[in-house]
């Protein structure tokens, strides 16, 4: 199989990042996988095509680490065509706003917002400088980019901010054939969302299970967005379990 496009996937060691990486690999993409733990990145790579996968342990909150990730990807593959900006954290669950520590707030903001910015900025620079010019950034937003869950102030604030980041990237990228978009996901079945099926706090104070969907359905949507020509863009996409409480939640 000829690999004609190269993707950097952050948070690639598990969950949505792993599913998207495997979907892209199956479609012929070469991959630079980023995440905190080398062993989980290797597990993802082993399920793809190891000869066309580069694993780069990366802390997305570290500017030097992010710069090294994109330098390694460009050196290995010659160019970069896509960033799936996926690394993130929910932060501490179930903590009321007035009890949330500043350290916990900072951890979520540093990972979800500052990390997303650093990766997007590094990708933007590569896309602007390479020949042929251009590339695509797909940011992983959330249903929480639209409406919050109870006790989720840090996560929700960063996901609302992600929307502003996406819009600015899309606007500032126009002169350089850089497309930027956002996928807002609701209840994809991963280890991080296992509690959805057993019961999660609702706005009325009750605990209730919520429907989930196959994470592979998310991965297929990301691949569709990724494989559009740069002259076309899905600016925002919402992919959610059909019966989850999003409509009616806000």
- The pTM is what? 0.93
Q: What is the pLDDT of residues 36-72, one digit of tens each?
A: 999 999 999 999 976 699 999 999 999 999 999 999 9
Q: Choosing from 102, 155, 176, 246, which is the catalytic residue?
A: 155
CB atoms within 10 A of CB 10: 26
Mean pLDDT of 207-211: 79
What is the arithmetic mean of pLDDT over 170-189?
95
Percent of the chain with pLDDT over 90: 78
Cα 174 to Cα 187: distance, rounded to the nearest angstrom? 32
Could you state, in order of their start, the residue ranges of all structural domains in the chain? 6-240
Phi, psi for 185 (deg, rounded to 5): -110, 140
155 is catalytic: yes
Highest mean pLDDT (candidates 46-55, 100-109, 206-215): 100-109
- What is the SS3 assignment for 229-248? CCCCCCCEEEEECCCCCCCC
Q: Which residues contact 236 (CB under 8 A, 6 or more apart)?
A: 141, 163, 166, 181, 182, 183, 184
Q: Has domain 6-240 been given CATH number 3.40.640.10?
A: no
Task: Tell me the pLDDT band of 209, cut-offs 50, 70 and 90.
Answer: confident
């Amino acid at each position: 199989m000829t690999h004609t496009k190269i993707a950097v996937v952050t948070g690639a060691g598990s969950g949505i990042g792993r599913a998207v990486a495997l979907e892209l690999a199956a479609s012929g993409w070469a991959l630079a996988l980023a995440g905190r733990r080398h062993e989980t990145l290797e597990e993802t790579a082993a399920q793809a095509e190891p000869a066309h996968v580069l694993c780069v342990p990366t802390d997305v909150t570290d500017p030097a680490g992010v710069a090294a990730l994109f330098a390694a990807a460009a050196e290995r593959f010659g160019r970069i065509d896509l960033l799936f900006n996926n690394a993130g954290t929910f932060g501490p669950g179930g903590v009321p706003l007035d009890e949330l520590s500043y350290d916990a707030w900072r951890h979520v903001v540093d990972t979800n917002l500052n990390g997303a910015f650093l990766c997007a900025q590094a990708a933007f620079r590569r896309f602007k400088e390479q020949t042929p010019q251009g590339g695509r950034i797909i940011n992983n937003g959330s249903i929480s980019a639209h409406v919050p869950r109870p006790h989720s102030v840090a996560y929700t604030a960063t996901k609302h901010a992600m929307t502003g980041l996406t819009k600015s990237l899309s606007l500032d990228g126009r002169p350089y054939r850089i497309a930027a978009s956002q996928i807002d996901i609701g209840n994809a079945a991963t280890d991080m969302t296992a509690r959805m099926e057993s019961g999660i706090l609702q706005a009325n104070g009750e605990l209730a299970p919520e429907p989930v969907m196959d994470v592979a359905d998310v991965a297929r949507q990301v691949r569709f967005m990724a494989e559009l020509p740069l002259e076309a863009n899905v600016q925002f996409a919402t992919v959610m379990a059909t019966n989850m409480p999003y409509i009616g939640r806000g």
